[in-house]
Every structure is written in structure tokens, then in C-alpha cells.
């Protein structure tokens, strides 16, 4: 009896995951037409630029109370403290999520803090091949793709499965094709 129950539970869990992926990726084309969305709690404004998003899911895996792709609007700026939101946004590998303080004085102090952090950070670059997933590149790098386009990012995920629609960046497609490597 337990074997049947466990089997049914696993099947339902897998079906639910596939449903979630379909909902998220089905909405991607519609969302990509949006240039930028802003969400404010009075203290900070969260800026989301869907065309930059690589769908790594770092945002909603890390702070589900704020970032939930199954809800509309998908950003609930009241779902956590400003500090928690800022910490999660800073983990966004594509920088599709960013923020600014609504108070000009807060922006000046944040800019000074960012400058101090940048000056003290190690200049090394870390490249890690993630199991059955993308290549994680951490550090300040310039990536040239196409004829003229250059982008400098502190952290990014590069596709290695070949299925990404946002090459050279990973968009999570490796999960849909069950990439192993």
C-alpha cells in the first residue's frame, strides 16, 4: 500500500512541477514585450527588466514571499523587509532585477557603500560548471557576443546545453530537456 501511495505522490509532484514550468514559460513571451516594471514600498523601488531576465529562478527560490511568478503582479514588495529584498535582488545573476532608494540621501549612502565594496573586492574570476546545468561565471567580465554588443556583469550563467532561447545566457531550458553533463 505504501509503495502505491509513494508512487502516486511522486507522479503528482512531477506533474505539478511540469505545470508550473509550462505556466512560467508560456507567460514569458507576453512578459518579454514589457520594457520595465517598477514596484515601490515607499523606501525602495524594485525595477524589473524582463528582456534581461535569464529565468534562473534565483529570485523566487530565495524570497518566495516577494517574488512569485504564479501571481500577478509577480512582485509583492510588501512581502519582506527592505533589507531582505535588497539582499535578494543583489543575487540576481542577469541584473534584470535592480533597485533604488526613493530618498536621495539613501541613494548617496548606497552609492558610497557600493564604491567601497567594489574597491575592496577581489578581482579574481570564478568559473564553475554546475552539475546538469549552466556554467556559472562570477567576477567582473566583459562578454562579447554578436558584432558590437558587450555586457559587463558581476555574475552570470552561460548555457551549455544548447537549448536556451537567450544564448549565450542560460534560461533554465536544461531542466526541460533533462540535460546531463
- 158 shares its domain with 137: yes
Structural domain ending residue among the three candidates 112, 138, 171: 112
Neighbours of 171 (CB within 10 A): 22
Q: Are residues 99 and 131 in the same domain?
A: no
- What is the predicted pLDDT for the residue at 83? 94
**pLDDT (tens digit, 9 = 90+) per residue, 121-131?**
556 888 889 88
Instruction: Give the structural domain span for 75.
Output: 34-112
What is the CATH number for 171? Answer: 3.40.5.90
Give the pLDDT score at 119. 46
pLDDT of residue 116: 47
Number of independent structural domains in the chain: 2
**pTM listed for this prediction:** 0.54
Q: Within the chain, which residues score under 70 in pLDDT? A: 1-34, 104-123, 148-153
Last residue of one domain, picked from the residues 90, 112, 134: 112
Q: Are residues 130 and 104 in the same domain?
A: no
Residue 159 contacts residue 171 (beta carbons within 8 Å): yes
Are the C-beta atoms of 174 and 161 separated by less than 8 Å?
A: yes
Amino acid at each position: 500500500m505504501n509503495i502505491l501511495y509513494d508512487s502516486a505522490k511522486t507522479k503528482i509532484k512531477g506533474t505539478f512541477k511540469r505545470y508550473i514550468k509550462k505556466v512560467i514559460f508560456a507567460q514569458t513571451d507576453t512578459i518579454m514585450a514589457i520594457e520595465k516594471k517598477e514596484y515601490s514600498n515607499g523606501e525602495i523601488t524594485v525595477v524589473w527588466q524582463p528582456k534581461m531576465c535569464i529565468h534562473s529562478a534565483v529570485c523566487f527560490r530565495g524570497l518566495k514571499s516577494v517574488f512569485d511568478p504564479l501571481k500577478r503582479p509577480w512582485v509583492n514588495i510588501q512581502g519582506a523587509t527592505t533589507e531582505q529584498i535588497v539582499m535578494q535582488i543583489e543575487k540576481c545573476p542577469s541584473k534584470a532585477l535592480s533597485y533604488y532608494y526613493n530618498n536621495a540621501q539613501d541613494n548617496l549612502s548606497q552609492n558610497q557603500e557600493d564604491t567601497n565594496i567594489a574597491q575592496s573586492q577581489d578581482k579574481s574570476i570564478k568559473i564553475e560548471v554546475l552539475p546538469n546545468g549552466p556554467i556559472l561565471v562570477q567576477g567582473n567580465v566583459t562578454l562579447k557576443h554578436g558584432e558590437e554588443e558587450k555586457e559587463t556583469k558581476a555574475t552570470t550563467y552561460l548555457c551549455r546545453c544548447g537549448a536556451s532561447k537567450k544564448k549565450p545566457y542560460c534560461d533554465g531550458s536544461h531542466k526541460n530537456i533533462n540535460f546531463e553533463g
